[in-house]
Structure 1
Amino acid sequence: MSTNPVFPRGVRPFAVQPSAAWDRWARHGFAPLDVVVEVVLGSGQLMRLAGPGRCSWLAGHGRWIPMGSGAVESVTGRAVRAGETVRPRVLLVLRDNPQYVVTELAWASDTALDEVLGWLGWPVAREAAGLVSVRERLQARSNDYWLLEAAMAALELPEAGRDLPVLPGISVVVSARGAQSVLAGTVGSVVEAAERLPGRTPWECVVVDDLSEAPLRLPAGLPPQVRLVRAAERVYRGGARNLGQELSSHPVTVFIDDDLQMAPNYLLQHAVRHLLWPNLITVSGREEYLEPAAATPQRLPYGKQVPGDVGQFRDFGTEGRVDPREAYELVGRGDIVASRPLAEVGFPPDYVAYGPEDGTFAAKALSLGAFVVPVAETGLFRRGYRRTGNLVAQDAARTAAFVANLELQERHFDAPADGGWAVTR
């Protein structure tokens, strides 16, 4: 992520003093933060708006009155349809306490209200209430996460993250099957990354054995935060992740495949972003392949700092066409870090064998107002190994299942965005 945010046309940044913002934040124990946009509607209503699924606020009777997403859509929908413009002010506030402003981030002169809502993840459309499917929602919004960039720059994060006394609790879910040869390295990298977190940060690691033919075993000597559970039946990758999420408890969840190893700074770099934005997916920006017998380097992975082009993330959806391949390109590397409300949405339950569960999950999250953000400062090592069993038969079956899953994915894209997953098989 850039330390120099790219502001939209017409938006002017405030001159922020990071030390002053940091001191104001420290007075409240480094509580989680949120970015809101303050606007005055033509009706005279003063609002501090947050994204979908988060609490927005209406000024009234000397206090801030919380508003759910439905109320925000009702109030702003009329103003959007009337073509109202506002003079927005972007603020970094304590999460769930909008009266306490840590710092001002930016402001703009007359700006269309629907554009302002788009900054926060609302669909930019004149008739947003009519957008019901995942695909329709995606086609009506972008993934330009400049507000998060501005918040991080204002506090000089993530560089200063090491000085925080605590970060949001982190749950790591490892979905595994037939992975005994690499499991020690995967779990060991989680433990090492957890040791780099601020000392009082709670964490846990749940390894889900997806009914391996030979039950998996954890190596000896691991801390008590690491535990292994075995599924009662085959649930495949998405189901294993859902089971791990059900058994975890922290506000941020890392979903990681069994053949991946974290860079030592992985958890720190991801967690600081979730401290500033409550409806977020982060993915790693570096990946390096390791031979099965090679030692894990004590450094960052080589390779591109951001997969593809950062524009691939920021411009997602702006062309008015979103297909499954575009969603997969954002997250198709085997790790996804999600805030708890998104993690609890879960992965599609009806994919069997190898499926596009990551891209489908990301599409659903985006349709609910989330942003998918690459983290260039950390990454993963992928450990090559051969799974047990008849590889020829396994690959043929996986290929057939993948083709069937692609058809299911199209149905998920056309299913309602709100609510849980519709089982389409």
Structure 2
Amino acid sequence: MSTNVLFPSGVCPSAVQPSAARERWARHGFAPLEVLVEVVVAPGWVRLAGPARTSWLARSGRWVPMNPAAVQAMASDWQTVSARVLVVVRDEPGSVVAELGSAPVGTSAEVLGWLGWPTVREAGRPVSVRDRFGARSNDYWLLEAAMEALGLPEAAGDLPVLPGISVVASARGAQSVLAGTVGSVIEAAGRLPGRTPWECIVVDDLSTSPLRLPEGLPQQVRLVRASERVYRGGARNLGQSLAAHPVTVFLDDDLQMAPDYLLEHAVRHLLWPDLITVSGREEYLEPDAPTPQRLPHGKQTPGGAGHLRDIGAGSRVGPREVYELVMRGDIVASRSVADVGFPPDYVAYGPEDGTFVAKALSCGAFVVPVPETGLYRRGYHRTGNLVAQDAARTAAFVANLERQERHFDAPADAGWAGAR
């Protein structure tokens, strides 16, 4: 992968042999992993997880679970801590696969910040999505360090299985491109390790002419039709309610995956439990142009991958900043993140992707670009849209931006306030 991981000041990287780490991992059946930070404080040994995960306290020779509120209460008494960064089997804090680094001294806020905790105490009052997101860092160096320690993604093809993947394609009036979109999913699924389960759910958002799948598709592909018009966010929520696997790809109907798309995204979700990944590149194709047998060209992540690390971390967060996180029409989310759901009150042309991501990040997720793969966008004329004229389209978009501002100012830990 050659990430050249940039460790924070004061963290000393450990020398890890990827082959040895994978050998230890193999003894656990290549189970999903997570990164914990072990600290030594007054209560004893604590292995910290992200704010949406269970942390652990060593007591009487075993690891006792701690919920996020207990971690915050305990951390308020910490001044400085020593820390070790560990890759462990998910939900088994004593099963260490690799040690990534150590920090002799650090503050509790700094150490928790590595894992996506807010850098300020919230004093028990309701906190908005905007405030919570702005008070935490999206610096995903821990994930990069874990990937480097295990030699991923280069070694991903040698793994026997990856997390099961559900692809949810929201579609309306997309008959002309549907075969290409579904075909690209099937081809990408063929690149997954042999025991990896997958499915593709196409959600027809009440197209004027009901959509039809091509004949002869694998049984993993199915089509469902919404009973009423739910727009893209609602269609994605419907698909997620039917999804069976721990990772979900949300895909626009005019996008085609590169052949390595599912493999590159899924391997990252194997190492981090609360994660959003987005493609690093996209190339636009004319409606009748052949799909190239190569990775997509076109724009890469705005400002480079490092740009995404700077979102939040004390800066103001608004529509523009969030839009720069997800601007390609694909979102790959861990189950716990996908179940947050998309805001259901946007109609027609709406910023549901960015609003969903802001909400997820305010709850502790990270958003990470995947530069090794990408998408082709197949240009076509969408039919049946409610906004056929530019003036109406603009008015709908402005109304949705007003809804987005309300969602940003709503409590981070509540549902979609004010949504229909």
The TM-score with structure 2 as length reference comes to 0.97
2:413 is equivalent to residue 418 of structure 1:
yes
Match of 1:32 in 2: 32
Residue identity matched to 1:14: S
Match of 2:401 in 1: 406
- Measured in 2, the distance between the counterparts of 1:232 and 1:156 equals 46
Match of 1:16 in 2: 16
2:115 is equivalent to residue 116 of structure 1:
no
Please tell me whether the aligned partners of residues 137 and 313 of structure 2 are also in contact (alpha carbons under 8 angstroms). yes
Match of 2:279 in 1: 284
Post-superposition Cα deviations, 1:290-336, rounded to whole Å, max 9, x if no partner, equal 00000111210012443332222011113521111111111121000
- Measured in 1, the distance between the counterparts of 2:418 and 2:126 equals 21
Deviation at 1:394, TM superposition (A): 4.7
- Measured in 1, the distance between the counterparts of 2:333 and 2:2 equals 20
Cα 1:2–1:243 shift into 2, 3 Å: farther
Post-superposition Cα deviations, 1:379-405, rounded to whole Å, max 9, x if no partner, equal 000000112258973544332111101
- Measured in 2, the distance between the counterparts of 1:214 and 1:140 equals 47
Which SS does the other structure have where 2:34 is aligned?
strand
Which SS does the other structure have where 1:330 is aligned?
coil
- Measured in 1, the distance between the counterparts of 2:179 and 2:207 equals 16
2:90 is equivalent to residue 91 of structure 1:
no
Match of 1:312 in 2: 307
The TM-score with structure 1 as length reference comes to 0.96
Match of 2:172 in 1: 177
Deviation at 1:256, TM superposition (A): 0.4
Cα 1:86–1:219 shift into 2, 3 Å: same
Cα 1:391–1:33 shift into 2, 3 Å: closer
- Measured in 2, the distance between the counterparts of 1:171 and 1:290 equals 25
Match of 1:362 in 2: 357
Match of 1:77 in 2: 76
Deviation at 1:44, TM superposition (A): 3.7
Please tell me whether the aligned partners of residues 349 and 423 of structure 1 are also in contact (alpha carbons under 8 angstroms). no
The unaligned stretches of length 5 or more in structure 2 are: none
Post-superposition Cα deviations, 1:340-376, rounded to whole Å, max 9, x if no partner, equal 0110110001111111000000000110010000000
- Measured in 2, the distance between the counterparts of 1:136 and 1:209 equals 36
- Measured in 2, the distance between the counterparts of 1:198 and 1:220 equals 25
- Measured in 2, the distance between the counterparts of 1:25 and 1:404 equals 50
2:207 is equivalent to residue 212 of structure 1:
yes
Identity of aligned residues (%): 76
Please tell me whether the aligned partners of residues 281 and 375 of structure 2 are also in contact (alpha carbons under 8 angstroms). yes
- Measured in 1, the distance between the counterparts of 2:350 and 2:404 equals 9
Deviation at 1:59, TM superposition (A): 0.5
- Measured in 2, the distance between the counterparts of 1:293 and 1:49 equals 52
Match of 1:65 in 2: 64
Residue identity matched to 2:229: R
- Measured in 2, the distance between the counterparts of 1:370 and 1:128 equals 21
What aligned pairs does 1:80-229 form with structure 2 within 5 A after superposition?
Answer: 84-127=79-122, 129-130=124-125, 132-229=127-224
Range that drifts further, 44-53 or 311-320 = 311-320
Please tell me whether the aligned partners of residues 86 and 100 of structure 2 are also in contact (alpha carbons under 8 angstroms). yes
Structure 1 ranges of 4+ moved more than 4 A: 126-131, 389-392
- Measured in 1, the distance between the counterparts of 2:199 and 2:72 equals 37
Residue identity matched to 1:45: G
Range that drifts further, 126-135 or 241-250 = 126-135
What is the total number of aligned residue pairs between the two structures? Answer: 420
Residue identity matched to 2:152: L
Match of 1:50 in 2: 49
- Measured in 2, the distance between the counterparts of 1:346 and 1:164 equals 31
Which SS does the other structure have where 2:112 is aligned?
helix
Deviation at 1:61, TM superposition (A): 1.0
- Measured in 2, the distance between the counterparts of 1:4 and 1:379 equals 22
Which SS does the other structure have where 1:110 is aligned?
strand
Range that drifts further, 324-333 or 377-386 = 324-333
Deviation at 1:422, TM superposition (A): 1.2
Post-superposition Cα deviations, 1:241-279, rounded to whole Å, max 9, x if no partner, equal 000000111000000000000000000000000000000
Which SS does the other structure have where 2:405 is aligned?
helix
Which SS does the other structure have where 2:73 is aligned?
helix
Range that drifts further, 355-364 or 4-13 = 4-13
Residue identity matched to 1:29: G
Which SS does the other structure have where 2:88 is aligned?
strand
Say which of 258, 261, 270 aligns to 2:256. 261
- Measured in 1, the distance between the counterparts of 2:2 and 2:309 equals 12
- Measured in 1, the distance between the counterparts of 2:347 and 2:413 equals 24
Cα 1:155–1:185 shift into 2, 3 Å: same
Which SS does the other structure have where 2:324 is aligned?
helix
Query: For the aligned residues, what is the CA RMSD?
Result: 1.5
Please tell me whether the aligned partners of residues 38 and 86 of structure 2 are also in contact (alpha carbons under 8 angstroms). yes
Residue identity matched to 1:106: G
The unaligned stretches of length 5 or more in structure 1 are: none
Match of 1:230 in 2: 225
- Measured in 2, the distance between the counterparts of 1:131 and 1:371 equals 22
Say which of 329, 332, 335 aligns to 1:334. 329
- Measured in 1, the distance between the counterparts of 2:353 and 2:55 equals 29
- Measured in 1, the distance between the counterparts of 2:385 and 2:187 equals 34
Which SS does the other structure have where 1:88 is aligned?
strand
Which SS does the other structure have where 1:397 is aligned?
helix
